[in-house]
Amino acid sequence: MAKESISGEENVREHYRTICEITDGDVSAEVISVDLEGMKREASELVKIADNIVVKIPMIREGVKALAWCRDPGHPYQLYPRIQRRSGDPGR
């Protein structure tokens, strides 16, 4: 959404809604939170947008927990890699 200069939760949801209306395929929508409760809240809201939303959850410890919570046969979820560097890590 940042590339499209879209900000604010309702504006982001409306943008996803518009994309979902013009495409027959899956539309990926990722959670922004990195804590379990935030991911669960965001995922719950994202799946309400349209039937073709696929919620992307970061592949971090809390994301794996969220994915286990998100099991819903009606809405697909997927993990995506999010690299988190520790303080002082040179990134090698």
Residue 86 belongs to a domain: no
* Catalytic positions, written as ranges: 56
E-assigned strand segments in the chain: 27-30, 53-58, 77-80
For residue 15, the Cα-to-chain-centroid distance in whole angstroms is 14
pLDDT recorded at residue 92 = 43
Residue 22 belongs to a domain: yes
- Biggest alpha carbon distance in the chain? 45
pLDDT (tens digit per residue) in 33-64: 999 999 989 988 998 999 888 888 888 888 88
**Average pLDDT for residues 17-44, to the nearest whole number?**
92
What is the domain count for the chain? 1
Residue 47 belongs to a domain: yes
Residue 65 belongs to a domain: yes
Can you tell me the distance from the alpha carbon of 21 to that of 23, in angstroms, rounded to the nearest whole number?
Answer: 6
Residue 1 has pLDDT above 90, yes or no: no
Can you tell me the distance from the alpha carbon of 47 to that of 24, in angstroms, rounded to the nearest whole number?
Answer: 16
Residue 26 belongs to a domain: yes
If one compares 89 and 41, the residue with the highest pLDDT of the two is 41
Record the pTM.
0.74
Residue 90 belongs to a domain: no
Q: Average pLDDT of the chain?
A: 80
